[in-house]
Amino acid sequence: MTKKWGLLAVFAFGLYVVAMYLYFFHGQNSGIPAALQGTAADPSTFLTTQELLLSEELSKVRNFLFFISTPLEWLLYFFILIMGISRLFESWSSEQFKWSLFRTSMYLFFLSLLLFIIQFPLDYFRYTLSKSYGISTQIFSSWMRENVIDFWLELGMSVIMVAVLYWLIRKSPKKWWLYAWALTVPFSIFLMFIQPVVIDPIYNDFSPLKDKALETKILSLAEQANIPSEHVYEVNMSEKTNALNAYVTGIGENSRIVLWDTTLNRLTDDEILFIMAHEMGHYLLKDIYINIAVYLFMTLIGLWLIAKIMPWMIRRYGPVLKIKDMGNMNSLPLFLLISSFLVFFSSPLSNAISRYQEIRADEFAIELVENPEAAVSSFQQLTKAGLSEVNPPALVKWFRYTHPPMLERINKFAEEIEED
């Protein structure tokens, strides 16, 4: 039975991979609409022939990897269950420790290490791909260091969350999902609060903006928008990437406006001011708090669905999955599989909300700086630095794009320039 299910899963995944390969490399065409060819939104007007070729090649590979990596994760969880690996990890942990927290920690260490090792080749391929196309400038030791940090940080947080989760499942089999969600609320807000001052500095060096003349302009812009701010931060990213970025992070007193040094080095002051106005728009429009609310709502729905789906799957397929009871730690890969499935298929909704927020922030920025030329040129530079796909297929836009495609953003402000 196990062999049959394993072969069926591999066969289904293989068919899916072939379908995705044919779609991205031989099927879809994300060319520029005839009406926009030769305009400021057409990448051929601001990218070289070589950059256009590289952008097209890289976009196809990135999209293909995105759409196969998550189903591959599902396949891994499935095999960890049906081959009895999860049950074996639980047995090893129980033999070593009597305390529940230590057993949970050991089980999660085994599971996390196995997943890290199996997924490492794909992660390394992504790293080398970014290096080969000139996006990443990060040396291997630095990249590997970040992977190790990710492993231990995620393991530490997982021990806390999983220990509490399974305690709730055992204590309240019917309402565990509601209690788990209630604990998610303060935990998520706490992580948002400490991220800028505790987590982010582990990976990068942050400092107040060194260009004081530019900082004065940015703070003046913030004052004009009635946004209380004393500092703008820059982060040293040029050792890792050639891409450009700026963002707002954190909540309350720990909120920060952050500029990558690559952005400072590549863009003009006017372009930077537009980007800063965009980020101020997110702050003023309360997008961070809206995102927290959306995340918590979707988490509530997700936990409720898991509470319905997981017991049913164990009752029907428990012998195949080697799971006897949902409260047993060896059921965790099934919990993760269902969670990943729900997150993947809810991403079009969350991405649509995010794209709407980005459109509002763009509109706020242009009202504040009144410089559509800077908006157009900054978007062109962002595209150039990241070799981004300006007009992705609908499937890619739905599942991958948290921002509107550059074709739409550039064309919107280019039309404003023409109207003026």
Residues with active-site annotation: 279, 362
d(CA 411, CA 420): 14
Is 358 marked as a binding-site residue? yes
Whether residue 86 contacts residue 80, with contact meaning beta carbons closer than 8 Å, is answered with yes
d(CA 55, CA 49): 10
End-to-end CA distance of the chain: 70
The closest of 303, 300, 301, 337 to 317, measured between CA atoms, is 337
Cα separations in angstroms, 44 against 16, 56, 330, 346: 33, 12, 53, 34
Cα separations in angstroms, 99 against 46, 93, 94, 121, 255: 62, 10, 9, 35, 39
The closest of 77, 82, 150 to 114, measured between CA atoms, is 77
d(CA 168, CA 166): 5
Is 231 marked as a binding-site residue? no
For residue 402, give the amino acid letter.
Answer: T
Is 415 marked as a binding-site residue? no
What DSSP line would sit under 113-127, residue for residue? HHHHHHHHHHHHHHH
Whether residue 296 contacts residue 267, with contact meaning beta carbons closer than 8 Å, is answered with no
Q: What is the DSSP letter of 204?
A: S
H or E, element range at 97: none
Tokens coding 240? 């890792």
Whether residue 283 contacts residue 248, with contact meaning beta carbons closer than 8 Å, is answered with yes
Whether residue 358 contacts residue 247, with contact meaning beta carbons closer than 8 Å, is answered with no
* Beta-carbon contacts of residue 219 (< 8 Å; ≥ 6 apart): 229, 230, 232
List the binding residues for Zn(2+). 278, 282, 358
Q: Which residues are annotated as a binding site?
A: 278, 282, 358
